[in-house]
Amino acid sequence: MAVVFVLVAVAVLALLVGVHRYVWRRLVGDTTAPGSALRRAGTVAAWLLPLLSIGALVSGRAGAPFRLQQTLAWPGFLWLAALLYLTLALLVGEAVRPVLRRVLARRAAVGGTAGRADAAAGGDAAEIDSSPAEAPASGTPAAPAALVVEAPAPPSAAIHPSRRLFVARAVGGAAAVAGLGTVGYGTYGVLRGPRVKRITVPLAKLPRSAHGFRIAVVSDIHLGPILGRAHTQRIVDTINRTQPDLIAVVGDLVDGTVADLGPAAEPLADLTARHGVFFVTGNHEYFSGAAQWVDHVRELGLHPLENARVETAGFDLAGVNDVAGESEGQGPDFERALGDRDRTRASVLLAHQPVVIDDAVAYGVDLQLSGHTHGGQLWPGNYLAELANPTVAGLERYGDTQLYVSRGAGAWGPPVRVGAPSDITVVQLASRQA
Annotate 148-159 with DSSP letters as a single string. Answer: --PPPPPGGGGS
* Amino acid, res. 339: G
pLDDT at 101: 87
Q: Residue 17, Cα to own-chain centre: how many angstroms?
A: 21
CA dihedral 175, 178, 184, 190 (to 10 degrees): -120
Quote the CA–CA distance of 75 and 64 in Å, as a whole number.
Answer: 17
Q: What is the pLDDT of residue 408?
A: 97
Do residues 168 and 31 touch, judged by C-beta distance below 8 A?
yes
Burial of 169 (0-12, 13-18, 19+ CB in 10 A): middle
Residue 122: its pLDDT value, please?
54
Specify burial of residue 233 (Cβ count, 10 A radius: 0-12, 13-18, 19+).
middle
What does DSSP assign to residue 345? S
pLDDT score for 317: 98
- At residue 125, the pLDDT reads 44
This prediction's pTM: 0.86
DSSP of 21-53? HHHHIIIIITTS-TT-HHHHHHHHHHHHHHHHH
pLDDT attached to residue 120: 55
Q: How far apart are the first and last CA of the chain?
A: 56
pLDDT at 362: 97
Q: Specify the 3-state DSSP secondary structure of 403.
A: strand
pLDDT at 324: 96
* Residue 158 pLDDT: 47
E-assigned strands of 313-393?
Answer: 315-319, 346-350, 367-370
CA distance 262 to 294: 12
Of residues 146, 20, 27, the one with CA closest to residue 83: 20
CB atoms within 10 A of CB 229: 14
Judge contact between 79 and 49, C-beta under 8 A: yes
The per-residue pLDDT string of the chain (434 residues; one tens digit each, 9 = 90 and over) reads 678 778 887 888 899 999 999 999 999 999 999 999 999 999 999 999 999 999 999 998 888 999 999 999 999 999 999 999 999 999 999 999 999 888 888 887 786 665 555 555 555 544 444 444 444 444 544 444 444 444 454 444 445 678 889 999 999 999 999 999 999 999 999 999 999 999 999 999 999 999 999 999 999 999 999 999 999 999 999 999 999 999 999 999 999 999 999 999 999 999 999 999 999 999 999 999 999 999 999 999 999 999 999 999 899 999 999 999 999 999 999 999 999 999 999 999 999 999 999 999 999 999 999 999 999 999 999 999 999 999 999 999 999 999 999 999 999 999 999 999 999 999 999 998 76
Q: What is the pLDDT of residue 3?
A: 81
* Nearest alpha carbon to residue 280 among 309, 256, 259, 260: 309
Q: Which residues contact 146 (CB under 8 A, 6 or more apart)?
A: 128, 129, 130
Question: Is residue 401 within 8 Å of 186, Cβ to Cβ?
Answer: no
